[in-house]
Structure 1
Amino acid sequence: MANQLDTFFGAIADPTRRAVIERLVTGPASVSELAEPHDMALPSFLKHLNKLEQAGLIRTIKTGRTRTAYIEPAPLAQAEHWLARQRKLWEGRLDRLALLAEQLEREDKK
């Protein structure tokens, strides 16, 4: 799972790729539609799509002359699960730290 998370976070480290993911969450889109808002040459944009596809975050299907991209939800769910575990862990630690700080404050007031 660690390797999958590394691949996931590496793939979304770029703002262009994050924008593609955000767009695809709303539904499939053609490559030209995905590329349109980005100020870059199509070959450069295709490298971003390739990185997302290699990470398993999207899949593309070519029908005729049109290539359509689709989101793959499993990697997103795995990352969300990992982040939820981290959040729970750190919230617990911070809660214990807050209790300790309150206890020390009460002891200082005695």
Structure 2
Amino acid sequence: MNTTISNNGLPLMPQAPGNQANGPAAGTGNAASDTPAAVPAKDDSVRLTDSARALQDAAKVDGQGTIDSKKVEKIRQSIADGSYQVNPAAIADRMIALEGQIAGTAKP
């Protein structure tokens, strides 16, 4: 009995020698020659880009990037009592500067 498998116009992948169904090892019944050879395990590794390293360093809290809890509490209290003043012009200026940094057109 013959069975035909259509590749639907896709290119056929070449088979490794000895793994072909009609190759020398086909149908020998020898279990040792019918099983694929053991492939040595590769060590997994991760390589970080410079950008990823910079983000990782920026996320570290070590004296330089610590949160000033007194300042946070002062701002929280001024928001709660309604005395916190928002400066929309300063916010807009910083958003425009950030957009320039993202686009790569910001002046140093």
TM range (shorter): under 0.3
More strand by share: 1
Larger Rg: 2
More helix by share: 1
**Structure showing greater relative contact order (alpha-carbon pairs closer than 8 Å, 6 or more residues apart):** 1
